[in-house]
Structure 1
Amino acid sequence: MSMLLRGTSISSKTESSGIDEEYGEKETLLDEILSLVEDEEKQKEKQKKEKETEENRGKEIRKRAMENLTPKKGDDDSNDATPSKRNSSGNIVGYLKEKNDAELIYRRQELEVRKQQLQLEEEKFKLEKQERILKLENDKQEKTLMFELLEKKCLGDRH
C-alpha cells in the first residue's frame, strides 16, 4: 500500500511539473487514502503529545504531594515530630474504637432482625398448624355427616 501512496505522490509531483496526465478515479481514491493516512498520523502524534503532557502533570502533582508530606530540614525540631506521632497513634486508636463500636451496633441490629425473623416464622408455623387442624376437623365432621347420611339412606331403603 505504501508503494501505491508513494506512486500517488510522484504523480502529483509530475502534474505540478507541467506534465499533463489524465487524473483518474484511481488517483483520486489514492489521494484520499493518502490524506486519511496523513490525518491519522497527525492525530496519533497529537494524542501522543497529550498523553505526555498528562503524564508530566501527574508526575508534577505526585512530586508536590511528596514534598508536602516529607518534613523539611530546619523547619521543625525533632521534638515536634514525636508528639505528632503520638497524636496520630491516638487518632488510630480512636478510629479503631469507633470502628469496633460501629461493628458491635451493626451485629446487635443484625441479631435483632434475625430474632424478629425467627419469631415471624414461628408465628407462621403456628398459624399453618392451626389451619391444618381446622381442616382435619372439618374433613372429619364432613365424613361423619356423609357416613350418617349414608346410614340413614341405607337403613331407610331396607325398611
Structure 2
Amino acid sequence: MKRVLGLIVLILLFCSVGIPHASAASRTFKLDKNTVASLKAGKIPGFDIQLGMKKSQVVKLLGSPKRSYNWTGGQFWIFNKLPYAGLCFNVPGSPAGQLYGVSIGREGFPNKTFAKVKAQLGKPSYIGEDDAEGGYVMMYEYGEVTIYFTADTLSGTITGIDVINKSLIE
C-alpha cells in the first residue's frame, strides 16, 4: 500500500510541476512564416504584446504584475498570466512606461534549437559565445528590433529569448 501511495504522490507531483498554467500554455513564441514580419512590426509572435506598448495596455492584457527584478540596467516585470517572461518598461535613456524589451524563458519556446531557428529565419547576424552570460547566443536584427536566442551549447535547446527595440532608447 505504501508503495502504491508513494507512486501516486510521485505521479501527481510530476504532473503538477510539468504542466504550465493554462493561460501561459497558449502563449509561446511562434516560429513560422510570419515571425520576421511580426518582429519587424515590433510584435512578439504568439504573445499578443508589442514593443512600445504602455505598461497600462499590457496590464489590461496580462493583469497586474506579480513581481519585478533588475537585469542589465532595466527593471523587468513578471505577470501571473506570463510567468516565464520578464517585460521591461524602462531602461536608462528610454521613454518611461513603454515596453522596451521582453525576456522569455525556455518555457515560452520549448524544445527548440539554433538549427530549428536558422531553418526558419535563415542566417543570423551573429552566432557565437555569449561573453556576458556564458553559453552561446544567436542574434537577428530586423530594423530597430533585435532578437537574441541563447543556449548552453550550439546544439542544445534554447534557454531564453530576448527581444529589444533599439529605437526606444533616446
Same fold (TM over 0.5): no
- Higher percent of residues as strand: 2
TM-score category by the smaller chain? under 0.3
Greater share of helix? 1
TM-score of the pair, normalised by structure 2: 0.22
Relative contact order higher in (CA < 8 Å, ≥ 6 apart)? 2
TM, length-normalised to structure 1: 0.23
